[in-house]
Every structure is written in structure tokens, then in C-alpha cells.
């Protein structure tokens, strides 16, 4: 599984700035004031020694989005920044970009359309390098909004809100498989997506649902542990001990029954062991 080295852990309330990580961000992260999440990405990528790749291809305005993040990380003092603006799959084999991704210390996937992002990157040489290096802990990989949605092997492509959990509420497809065990939903409480995530995990009960609020990040490190940073919450929807789910037998718009579903609400500093499906204790 990913990021397997040791489980030696850090300060319980704030993540160490020197270890690489996978950062799954719920979207709308602070870009103006304290920039806590972006600062964490910058430090985890090496601080002033960081070589950052910005991948804005989920967006329909990649030049604008890429330039926005390039300015932010440049002002923080990054050593090198490259905007990898992939507009067709053939560019995923570009030797110059492949070389940069092999050397860089941080990669940032921007928001936009997760289907567009996967369509351009899935099964390309550049994505294989990104996945391998992220899973080995050789760089810091961050994705916000659409860039967060693609992190699991199964991905929420779209859906609705404001209804009970049901089969028609969520559209599922394949993601990029950076953290294969999870299904990620973003802008979570901000857009009332609890029922959507519950519907997703009912359809894939071998996965762990993670709903991430705006300006909030689930930061994955070694040993299968993630830590929450930011202003909102991370909602964990765990079907591992569910005793019954009616998902396979009900009509597409009928409400789903799920018995013994476990839900955790985690806030800044909380940690969760997703291999063992348990919240980790905090020493006060």
C-alpha cells in the first residue's frame, strides 16, 4: 500500500514541515491571508529549495489558474516552478515535462473538472511517474477540489444533494488511484454532500469515504495515517462494519438502507489510521 515506511509521528497538533505527503484539499483553500494549507504544501515540498510543478489541466482556464498558483509559490520563495499545462494526452509523454516531474519535490493539481483531469492524465507516462513517486513518499502531491476528487481508485464524477442516499444520487467512475482505498468528496459540508458520499460508499463498501470541507486538508503520511489541517472538518464514512445495505436491490431513486455505518467528524489536528479504521488518540 502507499507510503509504507515507519509510523514515527510528529507533533500531534501540527504536521512536520519536512516530510513529504499526499495532501487532499476540499477546495477554496485560503490564497490570501495565512495560506495555511498552501504554506504546508510549500514547506512539505522543501520550502525555499522546493521545485514545484503546477498541473492546471482540470480547469477550462488553465493559464489563469496556473499563473495564480505560480505567483503564490513564487512569493513564498520556491526555487523553481513549472506550469505543466497538458491540453491533450500526447503531452503526457513530453520529455521535458517527464524530466521535470522526475526531479521536482512538489506537484499541485488544481481544481476544475475531475473528468477532464482524468481524461487527460490517466494511464499517461507522466501520471505513472507522479503516482509512483507520491506513493513512495518521494515528493509532496497536493490536489484541491477536482484535484482532490481524483485521488482514489474510485471517483465521484458528479451527483446531487438535498436527497436521501440513493443509487441515482452519485455518478462513479475510475480515478487516478493515488490513495486507492478512499473515495473523496470535496466542498463537503459547504455543498451538503453527506448523502452523496454515503451513496458512494454503499456502492463500494470496500472503500473508505472521506468528505473534505473547503479550506481543509487531509494530509496523508507514512503508515496509513492522515491528519486534518485547516478551518473545516473531514468526515469519515466507514462501511467496514456495516451489517446490511440495500444498495444492490432497490430502485435507482429509492432510498438506501445502511445499517451500522460508522461516521467520524475530524477537525484540525485530529488523526485517523485508515488501515485500521480508527481515530488516533490525542494527548492534551
Q: Which domains are seen in the chain, by residue range?
A: 22-275 (3.40.50.880)
Asked if pLDDT for residue 13 goes beyond 80, the answer is: no
Alpha-carbon gap, residue 163 to 142, rounded angstroms: 31
Asked if pLDDT for residue 1 goes beyond 70, the answer is: no
pTM for this structure?
0.93
Active-site annotation holder among 128, 163, 246, 264: 163
Other C-beta atoms closer than 10 Å to the C-beta of 95 total 8
- Based on the residue annotation, tell me whether 181 is a catalytic residue of this protein: no
Predicted pLDDT of residue 216? 98
pLDDT tens-digit readout, 111-126: 999 999 999 999 999 9
Mean pLDDT (whole number) for 106-110:
98
Active-site annotation holder among 187, 203, 214, 221: 187
Mean pLDDT (whole number) for 229-238:
98
- Based on the residue annotation, tell me whether 163 is a catalytic residue of this protein: yes
Confidence of residue 283 (pLDDT cuts 50, 70, 90): low
Q: Strand, coil or helix: what is 152?
A: coil
Confidence of residue 222 (pLDDT cuts 50, 70, 90): confident
- Based on the residue annotation, tell me whether 187 is a catalytic residue of this protein: yes
The CA-CA-CA angle for residues 122, 170, 145, to 5°, reads 55
Active-site annotation holder among 50, 59, 145, 203: 145
pLDDT, mean over the chain:
93
Q: Copy the grid coordinates of residue 61.
A: 482556464
pLDDT tens-digit readout, 48-101: 999 999 999 999 999 999 999 999 999 999 999 999 999 999 999 999 999 999
DSSP string, 33-62: S--HHHHHHHHHTTGGG-EEEEE-TTSSSH
Closest to 17 in 3D by CA, of 51, 45, 38: 45
Confidence of residue 12 (pLDDT cuts 50, 70, 90): very low
Amino acid at each position: 500500500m502507499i507510503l509504507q515506511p515507519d509510523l514515527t509521528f510528529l507533533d500531534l497538533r501540527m504536521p512536520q514541515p519536512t516530510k513529504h505527503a499526499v495532501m487532499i484539499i476540499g477546495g477554496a483553500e485560503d490564497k490570501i491571508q495565512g495560506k495555511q494549507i498552501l504554506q504546508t504544501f510549500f514547506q512539505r515540498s522543501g520550502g525555499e529549495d522546493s521545485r514545484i510543478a503546477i498541473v492546471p489541466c482540470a480547469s477550462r482556464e488553465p493559464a489563469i489558474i496556473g499563473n495564480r498558483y505560480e505567483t503564490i509559490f513564487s512569493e513564498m520563495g520556491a526555487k523553481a516552478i513549472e506550469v505543466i499545462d497538458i491540453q491533450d494526452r500526447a503531452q503526457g509523454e513530453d520529455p521535458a515535462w517527464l524530466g521535470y516531474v522526475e526531479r521536482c519535490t512538489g506537484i499541485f493539481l488544481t481544481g476544475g473538472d475531475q473528468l477532464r483531469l482524468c481524461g487527460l492524465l490517466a494511464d499517461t507516462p507522466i501520471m505513472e511517474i507522479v503516482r509512483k513517486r507520491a506513493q513512495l513518499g518521494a515528493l509532496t502531491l497536493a490536489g484541491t477540489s477536482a484535484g482532490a476528487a481524483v485521488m482514489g481508485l474510485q471517483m465521484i464524477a458528479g451527483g446531487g444533494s438535498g436527497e436521501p442516499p440513493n443509487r441515482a444520487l452519485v455518478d462513479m467512475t475510475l480515478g487516478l488511484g493515488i490513495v486507492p482505498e478512499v473515495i473523496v468528496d470535496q466542498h463537503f459540508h459547504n455543498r451538503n454532500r453527506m448523502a452523496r458520499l454515503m451513496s458512494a460508499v454503499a456502492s463500494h463498501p470496500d472503500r473508505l469515504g472521506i468528505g473534505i470541507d473547503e479550506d481543509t486538508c487531509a494530509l496523508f503520511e507514512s503508515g496509513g495515517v492522515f491528519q486534518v489541517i485547516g478551518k473545516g472538518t473531514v468526515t469519515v464514512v466507514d462501511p467496514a462494519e456495516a451489517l446490511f445495505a440495500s444498495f444492490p436491490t432497490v430502485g435507482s431513486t429509492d432510498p438506501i438502507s445502511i445499517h451500522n455505518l460508522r461516521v467520524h467528524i475530524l477537525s484540525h489536528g485530529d488523526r485517523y489510521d485508515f488501515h485500521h479504521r480508527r481515530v488516533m488518540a490525542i494527548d492534551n
